[in-house]
Structure 1
Amino acid sequence: MKSKVAEALKLKYGPVAILWTDEMPEKAKQFKKGKWGCVMWMLAAAAKGGTAVFSKETYGCWGGGVGLGFGNVYHDFPGGIECFYYFLSNGNEKWGQGKQTAEHIKDFVTKEFLEDFLKGEGYVKTRELVKDFVDNLPIMDIPAKYVVFKPLEAVEIDKEKPEIIIFLAP
């Protein structure tokens, strides 16, 4: 599928289609089950001509899982959603449940993640503000097994229907 908009704008990268499907695309890049990764890396790969696929087990990070439409996966964060609120703000080290969770996960996570878990990423000032942010997200469960990123020009229009098309501008 060609894009007259992309041609008119003379974009460096072609548009990326986001599709929902129950069929796993062949030769698609995918994060390993349960491993961290950034959805934006996969968007870049698709903009450069590749195909990427995500599932409920391979969405990369918790924010990516929510953004891709796999429901409120913040509940799957180590220690649950409350630990996530502290993680995104001022950390879990001064909170009892957070400290206990850190003890349980320390042998299974990277040193960097454990430090961020305890100290917090500081994106939002307080856990209450993080909770308010999460409570107001349009969290949804997509009606398909996979989310696929692929170049719009690779979409087979008679078989596939993009849900979203992303245009990347410098």
Structure 2
Amino acid sequence: MESTIARAIHLTSSPVALLLSDEKPENALQFKEGKWGCVMLMFANAVKGKTAVFTRRTYGCWGGGVGLGFGNAYEDFPGGQDCFTYFLSSGNSQWDKGKEVGAFLESVAGKAFTEDFLNGEAYRETPELVRDFIENLPITDVEKEYVILKPLSEVNPATETPETIIFPVTADQVSALTTLANYARQGIENVFVPWAAGCQTIGILPLKEGKSHQPRAIIGLTDLSARKFVRTLLGKDILSFALPWTMFLEMEKKVPGSFLEKPTWQSLLES
């Protein structure tokens, strides 16, 4: 399947489709069971033309399990969700349970993860604010066995219906997609930027929007950790722009006659 939008904004790679299925695609990239990995690295591989698949046993990391819709995987974090709230904020070295789990991790986890576990990533100021973050996530348990990321160009619309279409975009392309998302709609908030993991901004957040009568687009890859992992494959200036399927189809029809055919956008392309 080809995208009119992708052609109009001169996307240099295929958009990525997220699909739910009970059938595993052949020759897909997949994390090994029990092994750590970043979902957004798999997304970057999908941007480059490969297909990736995830299950409840192969989602890579706890945030990825949440982001892909495999329930509240934070409960499986070392020491449980409480230790995760300290990990993402001020660190587990300041309380007894955190110290005990940290001592165990020194022998089974890498040095870098153990240090982050004990000292904290400082992405939120306090554990209480991390709890607030988790409570605000639309934690989902998908009904299908597999979550799939694949190039939109390899989607067969006769047999497959994606849940979400994700564009890897530069600043100019983010501007174009934001304008197109608001072009034929009332209101000024048809696109939003949540604070969440990279995988959550292409997974459960647009999945939630897809159930709305007027879904919104989501700008992502503002996750610093995810950016570190995708930089080699995607470069340093790429964000994600996720469209629920119905919104993608709506916007595809609005390209003809829009600003994308007018001089201002054409001059940006030429420059």
Q: TM-score range by the shorter chain?
A: over 0.9
CA distance in 2, matches of 1:111, 1:104: 12
Q: Could you tell me which runs of 5 or more consecutive residues in structure 1 were left unpaired when the two chains were aligned.
A: none
CA distance in 1, matches of 2:55, 2:108: 22
The answer for the alignment partner of 1:54 in structure 2 is 54
Runs (4 or more) in structure 1 with deviation over 3 Å come to none
Q: Report which of the two structures shows the higher radius of gyration computed on alpha carbons.
A: 2
Task: Indicate whether 1:153 and 2:153 are aligned.
Answer: yes
The answer for the alignment partner of 1:11 in structure 2 is 11
Q: Which has the higher helix share?
A: 2
Deviations 1:53-83 (A, max 9, x none): 1111111121111111111100000000000
Task: Indicate whether 1:125 and 2:115 are aligned.
Answer: no
Determine which structure has greater relative contact order: mean sequence separation of CA pairs < 8 Å that are 6+ residues apart, divided by chain length.
1
Q: CA RMSD in A?
A: 0.9
The answer for the alignment partner of 1:85 in structure 2 is 85
Q: Could you tell me which runs of 5 or more consecutive residues in structure 2 were left unpaired when the two chains were aligned.
A: 171-271
Name the stretch that deviates more: 82-91 or 60-69. 60-69
- Give the Å deviation of 1:100: 1.1
SS in 2 for 1:30: coil
CA distance in 1, matches of 2:32, 2:106: 21
Contact 1:12 1:169 in 2 (8 A): no
TM-score w.r.t. structure 1 length?
Answer: 0.97
Deviations 1:94-117 (A, max 9, x none): 111111112233211111111111
Structure 1 residue identity aligned to 2:65: G
Contact 1:19 1:161 in 2 (8 A): yes
Structure 1 residue identity aligned to 2:137: L
The answer for the alignment partner of 2:139 in structure 1 is 139
TM-score w.r.t. structure 2 length?
Answer: 0.61
CA distance in 1, matches of 2:33, 2:90: 28
Task: Indicate whether 1:23 and 2:23 are aligned.
Answer: yes
Identity, % of aligned pairs? 57
- Give the Å deviation of 1:85: 0.2
CA distance in 1, matches of 2:99, 2:22: 40
